Amino acid sequence: MTDKPLVLIVDDTPGNITILMEVLKNEYAIIAARTGAQALKLASCDPKPDIILLDVMMPVMDGYETIERLKGDAATAAIPVLFVTALSDDSDESRGLALGAVDYITKPFNPDIIKLRIANQLELKRTRDGLEDAVRERTKELTETRLEVIRRLGRAAEYRDNETGLHIIRMSKYGQLIALAAGWKEDEAEQILDVSPMHDIGKIGIPDSVLLKPSPLAQEEWEIMRSHCEIGAEIIGGHHSALMKAAEIAARFHHERWDGSGYPSGLKGEEIPAIARIIAIADVFDALTSKRPYKDPWPFDTAVEEIRKQSGTQFDPRFVECFMKVIPEVREIAVRFAG
């Protein structure tokens, strides 16, 4: 393996390949192709070329078609392409640049110009790659910071509810399992994991006399308790990011019921956002199996049976079915994060 940049030369004339190889051999590693089809194959192999010198006038598949295919493939689209041509018409050059070529090298070859143009394009690519890496890293950092804020705010709400913070870990993971069992993509299911910690953030606004009361709540106290959904949505709402919009949905609608008897909006069936329907199952199951000021924890299997009983009334039957499919994984999470 060489540390030299890898150049792919594409030309149907062997003599032109020989000339270019002679010019570049001291500074670059070189591979060559005599057809567009061969070029596409070599460009897709690892290690991929750092730059491609592509002849325009070739039989069967000319340089224009070859570059179109290169730029149309995500695996090769970022490789800079320099057209090699004897054409002198500006329209030919414009066409190549429009298709994605970064520069032209004209025949007959001037060795110094070839080297300079290749060096310039490789330097531009290094700079661009460095900027893209920096942007990706910064985006990752911002996303992780945002998620950490969400988790910590969620824990703040749970601490007020005499929880250790393990509740939001368990129910978030339960929700992720349900989403995956329902066929959601991994990033969609991960959003459940990310936003679930905020579902009860509105409890911050509930007085301790209501939130921590060890006996059944009076009607007016229930009205106060139920307001935590709208309080939470107000705390989270108004941000443009998809993550925060999903968190707002979770906070506002996680107490809606499939039969329409829930709160705060009395939504029914699929009127309830899917995220909230999944979180409702995960949240209630973990609440049943957890100790609270007003009750002892239910046995695991008894809580599972209660979720099954509430299918079609409190919960979406399809998501209940998905929950039942992942009971072994749910049990494992319950044991691992017991508290």
Here the CATH number for the domain that contains residue 279 is 1.10.3210.10
Tell me whether residue 48 is in a domain. Answer: yes
Residue 126 in any domain: the answer is no
Specify whether 217 is located in the same domain as 311: yes
- 119 within domain boundaries: no
**Pair (55, 157) in one structural domain:** no
Question: Could you give the number of structural domains in the chain?
Answer: 2
In a domain? residue 120: no
299 and 185, same domain (yes or no): yes
- State how far the Cα of 114 lies from the Cα of 105, in Å rounded to an integer: 7
Final residue of a domain: which of 56, 85, 109? 109
Do 151 and 105 fall within a single domain?
A: no
Same domain, 102 and 147: no
Look at residue 161 in the predicted model and tell me its pLDDT.
Answer: 59
| Segments forming the whole domain that contains residue 101 | 6-109
Residue 130 lies in a domain: no
Q: Give the DSSP per-residue string, 200-225.
A: TGGGGGS-HHHHT-SSPPPHHHHHHH
Which CATH number fits the domain that encloses residue 79?
3.40.50.2300
- Decide if 132 is inside a domain: no
208 exposure class (CB count in 10 Å sphere: 0-12, 13-18, 19+): exposed
> Do residue 274 and residue 328 come from a single domain?
yes
Per-position pLDDT tens, the chain of length 339? 568 899 999 999 899 899 999 999 899 999 999 999 999 999 988 889 999 999 888 888 998 999 999 999 988 998 999 988 876 655 667 787 888 888 888 878 888 888 988 998 888 888 888 888 888 888 777 767 666 666 666 666 666 655 556 888 899 999 999 999 999 999 999 999 888 888 888 988 889 888 888 888 899 999 999 999 999 999 888 777 788 889 999 999 999 999 999 999 999 999 999 999 999 999 999 999 988 767 789 999 999 999 999 999 999 999 999 999 999 999 999 999 886
